[in-house]
Amino acid sequence: MAKRSVWSDNRFWQRSAAWITGFASVLLIWLTFDTMAQITIGTDEDLKNGVTKRVPSPTVINYKITYEMSTKRGHEVPIIGGNDGQGMSLFQEKEMFFGRDDWSEEEATELLHLGKLGSQVKNCMNCHTLLGNGAYYAPDLTKAWLDPQWGPNGSMQAMTGKNTKEEAMAEFLQNPSKYPTHARMMPNLGITAEEAKGLVAFLKHMSSIDTNGFPRNFGKIEGAVHGK
């Protein structure tokens, strides 16, 4: 009788399946510990001490946020409170958010909590994408806070009759079908003034998350073919 090959032995493949699955799972769990440590939300102390976090404290709403090229990393990163010229945050330049730039950690956390709850309850993700995940019926919201459309040269502040980005956004969220930008409109979701404030805080905070350069060239391109 010919010697049986291990390659056609069910026991061999059963054991391979168990070992490889176990190994992959252990590696995934180990990487999860490392990743969790890196994406835990930062503190107000971090911002004050100039410590860059992948997901900064909710008090990041007190700072000016931009999205600029990092020479070290070779792609764009969120810049908080001014750029050192190399693409590192200086954490100095503040920015008013609904008339204040001194939101305490407690207040800002509460606002973000309301905004995150709102983002789920109002079902944002089944039209928009957040961090690129969701539905594709409406624009990506990852860096929506930084969209030129809402800035001083964009059309939304004039359209909503507001003088600041956050007020224009909050007004739009409360009465979306009053300010259509396209035949495809956002429906009225019964968003209250307080909820809108929370949602705008959530969007501003999300724009400060380090997404490894996604989306590329956000808000940088003007005057391309058919560009605005």
> Pick from 5, 49, 71, 120: which binds other proteins (CB under 8 A)?
120
- Asked if residue 150 lies in contact with residue 156, where contact means CB atoms within 8 angstroms, the answer is yes
CB-nearer residue toward other proteins: 79 or 124 = 124
Contact string 195-224 vs other proteins (x = CB under 8 A) = x--x---x---x--xxxxxxxxxxxxx--x
Question: Applying CB under 8 A, which of residues 144, 169, 170, 200 lies at the interface with other proteins?
Answer: 144
Residues 73-102 that bind other proteins (CB under 8 A): none
Nearest Cα neighbor of 125 from 110, 115, 112, 140 is 140
By CB atoms closer than 10 A (0-12, 13-18, 19+), residue 158 is exposed
In the bound state with other proteins, the residue whose beta carbon lies nearer, of 3 and 225, is: 225
Residue 180: both structure tokens together: 């259509």
- Binders of other proteins among 48-67, rule CB under 8 A? 54-55, 58
Name which of 101 and 110 has its Cβ closer to other proteins.
110
- Both tokens assigned to 116: 């995150």
Q: If you ran DSSP here, which 8-state letter would residue 55 be given?
A: S
Distance (Å, rounded) from C-alpha 209 to C-alpha 197? Answer: 19
User: Is residue 3 close enough to count as binding other proteins by CB under 8 A?
Assistant: no
What is the rounded radius of gyration, in angstroms, for the C-alpha atoms of the chain? 23
By CB under 8 A, is residue 31 in contact with other proteins? yes
Six-digit token pair at 41? 């939300």
Q: Specify whether the CB–CB gap between 207 and 199 falls below 8 A.
A: no
Q: Contacts with other proteins: how many residues (CB under 8 A)?
A: 94
CB of 155 to other proteins, least distance (A): 9
* Residue (92 or 226) nearer to other proteins, CB: 226
